[in-house]
Amino acid sequence: QKETTVLTIKNTPNAPTINKNIYGHFAEHLGRCIYGGFFVGDTSKIPNTAGVRNDIIDALKKLKIPNLRWPGGCFADTYHWKDGIGPKENRPTIVNQWWGGVTEDNSFGTHDFLNLCELLGTEPYLAGNMGSGTVQELADWVQYVNFGGKSPMSDLRVKNGKKEPWKVKIWGVGNEAWGCGGNMTADYYAGEYRKYATFMSDWSNTGGLMRVASGANSTDYNWTETLMKNIPANMLGGVALHHYSVIDWNKKGDAVDFTEEIYFKTMQQALKMEELVTKHSAIMDKYDPNKKIALVVDEWGGWYEVEKGSNPGFLYQQNTMRDAVLAGATLNIFNNHAERVRMANLAQCVNVLQAVILTDKAKMILTPTYYVMQLYSVHQDAQLLPITIKSPLYTYNGETLPAISASASKDKMGLVHISVVNVDSKKQNTLEIDLNELGIKSISGQIIASSKLQDFNSFDNPTKIQPVAFKGFEIKKGKLTVTVPPFSVLMLEGK
């Protein structure tokens, strides 16, 4: 007799929409994310468009990435955008002081990034420099990219070959201001934020900028409270939050060679996101009960030791089934908190941390996390269908975690999508879902699974892990029974 867990999905007409921006990405000037990743230069033999790899553009288009954050991260608070415009041969260099101390030639700048976003059909999210920049410098950047009339900055943009402004809506005001962004206190940052945010726009916030405040580090609830208390709501489009699934900053563990104990600890950190978004949202609710301000988790993902032999400052790591489970479970948390979590950015897109794409010279591979993002793209802008479940437990060494993570949505065509992750590394779990209320007659499914948790896609075996058709379910009298294999990510589609 199989143990079966009931998962209830409610057709709730007033449930929120899952903002597509939850599926955002992050591209920092860090290691081989931009240089040697996205950007190979237009003289490269690797097929490219204005220096950006075509294979990366094609792969990201398939993910329908809704927004891309740039140029950092910590790098953003050292970046002076004026050094990255105009003729490339005249641009000054910049030392990437946080990431490997390498000297960059600024050949990838504002035009390169915003043109890339146009190619991808994605919304840019520019992270402004508050830490080492000035109010004027950030105000000038806004004018340079957004102003359609005549002004010193828009004239400069036109001189550099771009007549029409890009109209960038999403702007970060500093990054990790409590750390690499200037080691500020929450009070001090809130004051600075008010000043910077003021000069980014006019009285009526023409252009409707979404200004995002540099947010808390994981459990720093005081940070969120201070920002919400001290920054007028009309100046605040979003409050950020950063949380990495790292087991110990001094001993992060190998990306591929890990034990079940380490896997369990990583998942403890990943599932902590539920508590973090719940508690940060509750603080925001006190000051913003109508939920006008978004919680923006603009850095999340797994963080392990760098690959042996690679530059320690470049944060290059492989990506296994552990990362697929981590991504699926985290995205389910964001979906289920769609009312407040309206944007998120996986760290990072190419060759850094929990990347969706890895490159080695001309070769490119898609990671298990890429495929999770691909399966989950169906949730973008779909209506949330709230779920109730009393999850079975995943037990390791006397400690427990909920084994099943799930979320569901109904898209504009009326298709229902249910994403299910079995976090348990050993036990399959059987779920029963009543389809009657949802009006579903038939189901199809795809699964991401592999024989070992440590499995990954390598440059020699790039397609080891990919979604395949899933048949482990049956429907009887409108009841769906699904058997979810250990450490797998599942997407069911009902119609």
Active site residues: 176, 299
- Each residue 384-423 as x (binds ligand AHR by CB under 6 A) or -, in order, gives ----------------------------------------
- Residue 452 has what DSSP assignment? S
Element (H, E) at 348: none
Tell me: does residue 348 bind ligand AHR (CB under 6 A). Answer: yes
**CA 246 – CA 249 distance, rounded (Å):** 7
DSSP string for 81-116: GGGGSS-GGGPPPEE-TTTTTPEE---S-HHHHHHH
Question: What is the phi-psi region of residue 121: left when phi exceeds 0, alpha when psi lies from -120 to 50, beta otherwise?
Answer: left
Q: 28 or 140, CB closer to ligand AHR? A: 28
Position among 73, 174, 237, 467 found at the interface with ligand AHR (CB under 6 A) = 73
Q: Which is nearer to ligand AHR, 29 or 340 (CB)?
A: 29
Contact at 8 Å (CB) between 120 and 60?
yes
Binder of ligand AHR out of 71, 72, 182, 392 (CB under 6 A): 72
Residue 192 sits in the site that holds ligand AHR (CB under 6 A): no
Stretch that binds ligand AHR, among 71-79, 81-89, 205-213, 482-490 (CB under 6 A): 71-79
**Shortest Cβ distance from residue 468 to ligand AHR (Å)?**
31
Among 28, 77, 192, 323, binds ligand AHR (CB under 6 A): 28
Q: For ligand AHR, which stretch binds (CB under 6 A), given 69-77, 193-201, 203-211, 249-257?
A: 69-77
Distance of closest approach, residue 178 Cβ to ligand AHR, in angstroms: 10
Q: How far apart are CA 21 and CA 298, in angstroms?
A: 10
Cβ distance to ligand AHR smaller for residue 201 or 354: 354
The tokens of 187 are what? 């009070």
Beta carbons of 21 and 342 less than 8 angstroms apart: yes
Query: Is 329 strand, coil or helix?
Result: helix
Q: Least CB distance from residue 346 to ligand AHR, whole Å?
A: 10
**Phi, psi values for residue 282, rounded to 5°:** -60, -40
Listed in sequence order, the residues at least 6 apart from 473 whose beta carbon sits closer than 8 Å to its beta carbon are 443, 445, 480, 481, 482, 483, 492
The Cβ of residue 398 has, within 10 Å, a number of other Cβ atoms equal to: 5
Minimum Å distance from CB 30 to ligand AHR? Answer: 6
Which residue number, 174 or 392, has a Cβ lying nearer to ligand AHR? Answer: 174
Place of tokens 């979404």: 210
140 near ligand AHR (CB under 6 A): no
Nearest to 114 by CA among 127, 123, 106: 123
- Residue 115 exposed, middle or buried by CB count within 10 Å (0-12, 13-18, 19+): middle
Which is closer to ligand AHR, CB of 170 or CB of 492? 170
Q: Which 8-state DSSP code applies to residue 70?
A: E
Task: Check binding of 104 to ligand AHR (CB under 6 A).
Answer: no
Which CB, 28 or 455, lies closer to ligand AHR? 28
Question: Interface mask (CB under 6 A) for ligand AHR, residues 266-305, using x and -?
Answer: ---------------------------------x------
Selected from 65, 142, 247, 347, the binder of ligand AHR by CB under 6 A is 347
Q: Based on C-alpha coordinates, what's the Rg of the chain?
A: 22
Give the nearest distance from C-beta 110 to ligand AHR in angstroms. Answer: 19
- Choose which of 33, 52, 68, 74 interacts with ligand AHR (CB under 6 A): 74
Is residue 425 within 8 Å of 465, Cβ to Cβ?
no
Measured CA to CA, the distance from residue 277 to residue 375 in angstroms comes to 23
Nearer CB in complex with ligand AHR: 131/445: 131
Q: CB 191 → ligand AHR: shortest distance, Å?
A: 21
Which positions touch ligand AHR (CB under 6 A)? 28, 72-74, 175-176, 299, 347-348, 353
